[in-house]
Structure 1
Amino acid sequence: MYSFCLRAGSGALAWLATFGSLLLLAFSTAAQTGKPATATLRGTITDSVSGRPLPGMSVQLVGSSNGTSADALGVFRISRLPAGTYTLRASALGYRARTTTVTLAAGETKTIDFAVAAVALQLAEVTVAQPRDLNQSVSAIAGIDRQLRPVNSAQDLLRLVPGLFIAQHAGGGKAEQIFLRGFDSDHGTDFAVSLDGVPVNMVSHAHGQGYADFHFVIPETIEQLRVYKGPYTARFGDFATSGAGEFTTKTSLEQSQAKVEVGRFDTRRALLMVDLTGKNGHLFGHKRPESAYVASEYMFTNSYFESPQHFKRFNGLAKYTGQLSDRATLALTGSHFTSAWDASGQIPERAVHGGLITRFGSLDNTEGGSTDRTNANAQLTVDLPHNAVLTQQVYYARYHFNLYSNFTFFLADSVQGDQIRQNEARNLLGYRGTYERDIALGRRTLRTTSGLGTRLDDVTLALSRAYRRTVRDTLVSGRVQEQSVFAWFDATLPVADRFTVNAALRADYFHFRFREDRYDSLSGRAGKPRVSPKLNLYYQLTPAVQLFARSGFGFHSNDARSVVMGAGKALPRAIGYEVGSNFKPLPSLVVNVAVWALHLQDELVYVGDEAVVESAGRTRRFGVDLGLRHQLSSSLFADVDLNLNHGRAVGAPKGQNYIPLAPSFTSIGGLTVKRPGGLSASLRYRHLDSRPANEDNTVRARGYFIMDAVASYTQRRYQVGFSIENLLNADWNEAQFDTESRLQGEKESVSELHYTPGTPFFVKLNGSLFF
């Protein structure tokens, strides 16, 4: 089933895992002699009611920059502490902070466990000092949003990224179009997405470079989101130009849950999440902490189009996390996703204005497709005895994709039409190892992270002409084998009490190979390295004001088919920089502001019906991001994100240098009520301004303003609620493109705006039982 390249790649994974262990562990022998005996603090943080571990909770030495965060099992460790008395503070959004004082003797290891109580969110307790992960651009903002913003779907998870907009244009089954910081990232070309460290973006995909289908995620299983804007973080490589989003699934469940949702347009969804750990907190009766759960969902809808969409999706997930020893934690995750749908496609404005179809009609209702993805992920984390952590991860995904589209109708074929089929089967394997170590430098602590890894994609894909989902002939078919090897080093040093420097270097090497089934002229191979330095500065002006300046090089890869044919640059470089501040002008008001710029060496445009990626040349963008989170009373919160973006092509004549579909102004905001008795509600808006749909701005994509509402009532054993999308029932266009097409009977083609209509007024009810 696998070729030599895949077998060789699998061997490379095993070799790299072994070599990585030896290389990363080799660092552990350095700087161990001649040091005075130091002490260690360790412990576990749990919820005081449920007893479940609280991963990611901050643990800080009060009055010091030294601190850490709890791992997947709620375990923390702070080492290399001189003998003395310390005040330790454990805190997280939504939990009452706990503080304790401890005296350590030289060479002593002391264990302190925290059981913390959940409390109503208070923004006065939020700190704007960056966490251990300095380059997480909007850490405080993202943490607040995760608690306040309602999440009802996988699409809503992506919307948690401040300033990120999405657009769906294939009936809900295809990956969304992503907009962020002046980028139309198509389906992920310039925004990297990962889940538990497993990449979501697909290289050399049958439909588009960087294709990031997030529908295999069950929203109720997500525990954490880390948001990074710009190419400033070393552990992100391909696609992380405008930014990156790291999603993490829950380690354990507070309780099991059964949920049912019903809504307009024959919409229904069922969810079941079951805790397997048991009342004693152990799956197999072990004394050490462990947790396990399973989750599954099924969804069906006919959607709001005149042609029923018959959209159905199934997701299943199983996760186990266990502490193998006092120093080692193992996490195992497996999941499976499958989906199928019919679609109405994008429609031209003239067909609606001329009365040929309505806004929700279709010119080819045989569009649609199917897809599935199976994932396996294993991660081993080991606390080493010299204040270091070694993490090794291996993952595998099996993926299928089959899509029928018709963008141009009868432009190329006036009889049978222009429907195409894009399909692929993919094996994705990867390894990543990271070695984190804190090194004492006098009174300062140098925090270092080293990493290396590889990723191998083995893809069989094809582009064919079709008629009503029957393949007529194949245009391109072949096999892509693309492998990347990468390494990075990241160092953070507080050079003064308030001033911190973060510097990093990342190196990537990509090997591309494409073998066309029939035409040797389309086949070939190529290799390309890329080195990306980063430099970031942070200054804590006051406890309520932090200033930052960030800079870095990044890149996104091109489709292997284009690379081997010399049709585009393999790894176009991005250069980004920004200055800004996280601050609290009032105890209950958190503000994030950044002024940024990004230069891209080559803007890639995917031409789906020709299976090629075209080069649009160099571009530059700059803009301003502003985010505010305000607690108006004990139970009323307001939030708003404003994003102003300006982008142009470099070298093109003025007036013909617009970047198609690049957003110029976006805004998201709303009001949220969270009452102690279990009632919560949110009224939200999102606004995307009108923008050029082509290079000379003669066709414009239409902006929109949409309002949504969500409410729920939660008690210990049940929850009921509803959600309303497009509360005002506005007519709006979701996905929009300037496309040349010809309708049946037309003598000449027309280039104009084609769009997918957005959701009309849509209400959905939900009810849950907890057990």
Structure 2
Amino acid sequence: MKQLIPFSLATLALAAHADDVFMPRVTIDASRISQLGIADSAAEGTVTQRQLEARTAYRPGELLEATPGLVVSQHSGEGKANQFYLRGFNLDHGTDLATTVDGMPVNQRSHAHGQGWTDLNFVIPELAARLDYRKGPYSAQYGDFASAGATDIAYANRLTRGIANLTVGQHDYGRALLAASPEAGSGNLLYALETMHNDGPFTQGDNYRKVNGMLRYSEGYVNNGWSVTAMGYRAKWNATDQIPERAVAAGTLGRFDAVDPTDGGSAYRYSLSGTWQRSDDDQATKLSAYAIANRLDLFSNFTYYLDDPVIGDQFAQPDRRVTTGFAASHAWHHHGTTLASTTTVGVTAQNDNIHNGLYATKARQVTAVTREDHIVETSGAVYVENQTRWSPVLRTTAGLRADRYRFDVTSDRAVNSGKASDSLLSPSVSIAFGPWARTEFYVNAGTGFHSNDARGTVITVDPKTNQPADRVTPLARSRGLDLGVRSEWIRGLQTSLSLFRLDFDSELVFVGDAGTTEAGRPSRRHGIEFSNYYKPFKWLALDADLAYARGRYRDADPAGDHIPGAVEGVAQLAATVTPQGPWSGALRLRWFGPRPLVEDNSVRSAATMTVNGRIAWQAGRNTRIELEAFNLTNRRDAAIAYYYASRLAGEAQAVDDVHFHPIESRSLRLSLTQTF
């Protein structure tokens, strides 16, 4: 039994803590859980609920920034999916970052706006019991979109106390939350209801309105129990999309102005899911299933009057879908005197029934139909993974995953209709040496993939230009290699260092005038990540996460070999202070550096830096007052930058320019939390 602790039983023991979430308090213990003897690489870990609560997040998606080296930003209205940067990638809205919430996939395949669309606006941070993360294609349990990284947010089954929260802030920000988990029969009924409004600093406010809720019934514990969960989310918003630098320099546009004031959108997400788990010393079984209904109506205008000088270039990308799926796994544990192992066999399946399109619009009214499609995308996978401790200082993880995809597209143009399929085998292996002097070393190698848009697998004619179009490979292979070290040799200090390389057979690139992604050239990234957590005193915790990556295309092209948008340097520095008494606070600096915006590196973005902070006062046993501050130094940086051609009203011809979306100006939020 003891020999098995570093493996699946340790994971199950850790997961058991997800049953209960302690309501946010001032005197939290934000210590990190040691990963020695547990993690398979230096680039994976677990973030506890107390660590998540200590963070200052402008929007729910920023919870993922607890993953070292990951940056979450936004380039449009608040209701739109976030922008992600990790390991030298501009991941657009989630491509190559597999994200799940309570075991349900968040990435949306063959999406109208971008492959792997990841909308986290439905997440309620107070319910997040744990965040697990890993980077690189080194686990057979992860498939599509997981090559750069994978994150999983686990919700609680129970709250130790109910919570009522009211938050107000600048830019017409308001939020209310009510959550509790009373006993019901032989289990617990967890409920939460959230409403929010936010205008942001923009000249035309975002007017982001959302209503969000969940209801869960559970019995037992995470490793020996079951639960059924229903979630619902609806939102509407205006959008200030990226604007051209030339207009800001000339004074015709302010930093927070919009070119097209009718951009924006609406979205909803409804889901029903269930999980069942049983485990003992010798085996563990897990079953889960889900059904998710998503809808998005998105109106954007990135090129203004480039294509149509009269009515403009606004376009709509509606997407509605029903996603169903299940996952099942069984693990056998072997206990020996010097050798212990766990072998896991699993199967997953997912089906997406999708209706989406691309329309030309003016002020959200359709003027022309570019394309309409009905897509049925089905996938299934089986995998086997073995974890073995061969001696006190050697353990291995080896896995093999087999994926099968089927694409069925019915387009409004018969020439763009058709069926396609693809299969892929993905082996992986990890070796951990140690610990010696509380220090471990890791070697990781593996292959993964991302799926491409189903429409691209059968396309014949570009529906916008009517020119012949090349089909894309359904599944694009990735190959990764990591060398790492993790040490807790110095008392109070947890540090990890990773050297990585990641190759893709096909890079996904952003297309400005279509607002989507397309398959492109093969690429390679290699870099270094250095993560540190230091707790010199019981009341002080310090974080320092640094990363650098170099991304290049691997083929020969006169245009150049730099990857537009590929983030190079990333840093996060933080201090959390939790002294005895009613006061606590935190300060966090986030920086991501300049990036090439064109293949020959002749145009680059500027760096972006923000400093956020929080201070809290425990007014009584059940009452807390907290002040959060965002962009304390009021930097005038950009959350995103692209380089492409556009034309403003009155311009005679197209102009190549940098287009950017500003970070939010300095703002404050004051919240009152009452527990019961």
Aligning the two structures, in what range does the TM-score lie when normalised by the shorter sequence? over 0.9
2:623 pairs with one of 718, 730, 735: 718
Shift, 1:151, TM fit: 4.6
Partner residue, 1:311: 208
Aligned AA (1:659): I
Give me the whole-angstrom Cα distance separating, in 2, the residues matched to 1:173 and 1:541.
Answer: 46
2:109 pairs with one of 203, 207, 211: 203
Post-superposition Cα deviations, 1:78-119, rounded to whole Å, max 9, x if no partner, equal: xxxxxxxxxxxxxx999xxxxxxxxxxxxxxxxxxxxxxx99
2:548 pairs with one of 625, 644, 651: 644
Partner residue, 2:249: 353
Shift, 1:496, TM fit: 1.6
2:441 pairs with one of 533, 547, 567: 547
Partner residue, 2:275: 379
Partner residue, 1:100: none
- Check 1:373–1:126 CA distance in 2 against 1; reply closer, same or farther (3 A cut): closer
Matched ranges for 1:207-356 at <5 A:
207-277=113-183, 283-284=184-185, 286=186, 290-323=187-220, 329-356=225-252
1:466 pairs with one of 345, 349, 361: 361
1:162 pairs with one of 26, 47, 68: 68
Partner residue, 1:175: 81
CA contact (8 A) 1:463 1:611 kept: no
Partner residue, 2:10: 68
Higher mean alpha-carbon deviation, 714-723 vs 421-430, is at 714-723
Give me the whole-angstrom Cα distance separating, in 2, the residues matched to 1:700 and 1:327.
Answer: 49
1:454 and 2:353 aligned? no
Matched ranges for 1:594-609 at <5 A:
594-607=498-511, 609=513
Aligned AA (1:561): R
Higher mean alpha-carbon deviation, 67-76 vs 488-497, is at 67-76
Shift, 1:716, TM fit: 2.2
Give me the whole-angstrom Cα distance separating, in 1, the residues matched to 2:21 and 2:35.
Answer: 12
- Check 1:93–1:550 CA distance in 2 against 1; reply closer, same or farther (3 A cut): farther
1:127 pairs with one of 34, 40, 45: 34
Give me the whole-angstrom Cα distance separating, in 1, the residues matched to 2:515 and 2:169.
Answer: 38
1:585 and 2:492 aligned? no
CA contact (8 A) 2:264 2:298 kept: yes
Aligned AA (2:359): S
1:738 pairs with one of 639, 643, 653: 643
1:394 and 2:289 aligned? yes
Shift, 1:274, TM fit: 1.9
SS at match of 2:61: helix
Shift, 1:586, TM fit: 1.2
Partner residue, 2:467: none
Matched ranges for 1:86-165 at <5 A:
121=29, 127-131=34-38, 134=40, 137-139=43-45, 145-146=51-52, 148-151=54-57, 153-165=59-71
- Check 1:167–1:74 CA distance in 2 against 1; reply closer, same or farther (3 A cut): closer
TM-score under structure 2 length normalisation: 0.93
Shift, 1:161, TM fit: 1.3
1:405 and 2:310 aligned? no
Higher mean alpha-carbon deviation, 626-635 vs 554-563, is at 626-635
Partner residue, 2:462: none
2:92 pairs with one of 164, 167, 186: 186
- Check 1:473–1:196 CA distance in 2 against 1; reply closer, same or farther (3 A cut): same
Post-superposition Cα deviations, 1:419-464, rounded to whole Å, max 9, x if no partner, equal: 0000011000001101011023564221111100210000011110
- Check 1:339–1:93 CA distance in 2 against 1; reply closer, same or farther (3 A cut): closer
- Check 1:634–1:625 CA distance in 2 against 1; reply closer, same or farther (3 A cut): same
CA contact (8 A) 1:709 1:723 kept: yes
Considering Cα pairs closer than 8 Å and 6+ residues apart, tell me whether 1 or 2 has the greater RCO: 2
Give me the whole-angstrom Cα distance separating, in 2, the residues matched to 1:352 and 1:327.
Answer: 56
- Check 1:345–1:74 CA distance in 2 against 1; reply closer, same or farther (3 A cut): closer
Matched ranges for 1:678-717 at <5 A:
678-714=582-618, 715-717=620-622
CA contact (8 A) 2:93 2:114 kept: yes
Matched ranges for 1:518-597 at <5 A:
519-565=413-459, 567-597=471-501
Give me the whole-angstrom Cα distance separating, in 2, the residues matched to 1:73 and 1:232.
Answer: 21
- Check 1:67–1:198 CA distance in 2 against 1; reply closer, same or farther (3 A cut): closer
Shift, 1:569, TM fit: 1.2
SS at match of 1:556: strand
Which residues of structure 2 form unaligned runs of 5+?
A: 460-469
Partner residue, 1:439: 334
Bigger radius of gyration among the two: 1
- Check 1:73–1:66 CA distance in 2 against 1; reply closer, same or farther (3 A cut): closer
Give me the whole-angstrom Cα distance separating, in 2, the residues matched to 1:720 and 1:143.
Answer: 19
1:622 and 2:622 aligned? no
Shift, 1:61, TM fit: 6.9
Higher mean alpha-carbon deviation, 144-153 vs 466-475, is at 144-153
Aligned AA (2:645): E
Give me the whole-angstrom Cα distance separating, in 1, the residues matched to 2:666 and 2:246.
Answer: 24
Higher mean alpha-carbon deviation, 138-147 vs 549-558, is at 138-147
Higher mean alpha-carbon deviation, 146-155 vs 546-555, is at 146-155
TM-score under structure 1 length normalisation: 0.82
Give me the whole-angstrom Cα distance separating, in 1, the residues matched to 2:375 and 2:236.
Answer: 25
Aligned AA (2:206): Q
Shift, 1:706, TM fit: 1.4
CA RMSD of aligned residues (A): 2.5
CA contact (8 A) 1:142 1:161 kept: no
SS at match of 2:475: coil
Aligned AA (1:529): S
CA contact (8 A) 2:40 2:442 kept: no
Partner residue, 1:763: 668
Give me the whole-angstrom Cα distance separating, in 2, the residues matched to 1:729 and 1:137.
Answer: 32
Give me the whole-angstrom Cα distance separating, in 2, the residues matched to 1:73 and 1:294.
Answer: 20
Give me the whole-angstrom Cα distance separating, in 2, the residues matched to 1:695 and 1:65.
Answer: 44
SS at match of 2:444: strand
Shift, 1:670, TM fit: 1.3
CA contact (8 A) 2:36 2:435 kept: no
- Check 1:735–1:624 CA distance in 2 against 1; reply closer, same or farther (3 A cut): same
Give me the whole-angstrom Cα distance separating, in 1, the residues matched to 2:102 and 2:90.
Answer: 25
Give me the whole-angstrom Cα distance separating, in 1, the residues matched to 2:635 and 2:506.
Answer: 37
Give me the whole-angstrom Cα distance separating, in 2, the residues matched to 1:75 and 1:670.
Answer: 25
Shift, 1:158, TM fit: 1.6
Give me the whole-angstrom Cα distance separating, in 1, the residues matched to 2:652 and 2:223.
Answer: 73
The total of aligned residue pairs comes to 661
Give me the whole-angstrom Cα distance separating, in 2, the residues matched to 1:74 and 1:223.
Answer: 10
Partner residue, 2:464: none
- Check 1:242–1:635 CA distance in 2 against 1; reply closer, same or farther (3 A cut): same
Q: Percent identity?
A: 28
CA contact (8 A) 1:681 1:711 kept: yes
Post-superposition Cα deviations, 1:719-748, rounded to whole Å, max 9, x if no partner, equal: 100111000111011121112101111111
Aligned AA (1:708): N
Which residues of structure 1 form unaligned runs of 5+?
A: 1-40, 42-59, 77-91, 95-117, 278-282
Give me the whole-angstrom Cα distance separating, in 2, the residues matched to 1:173 and 1:93.
Answer: 27
CA contact (8 A) 1:141 1:590 kept: no
CA contact (8 A) 1:207 1:608 kept: no
Give me the whole-angstrom Cα distance separating, in 2, the residues matched to 1:590 and 1:154.
Answer: 27
Partner residue, 2:463: none
Aligned AA (1:564): V
Give me the whole-angstrom Cα distance separating, in 2, the residues matched to 1:530 and 1:73.
Answer: 31
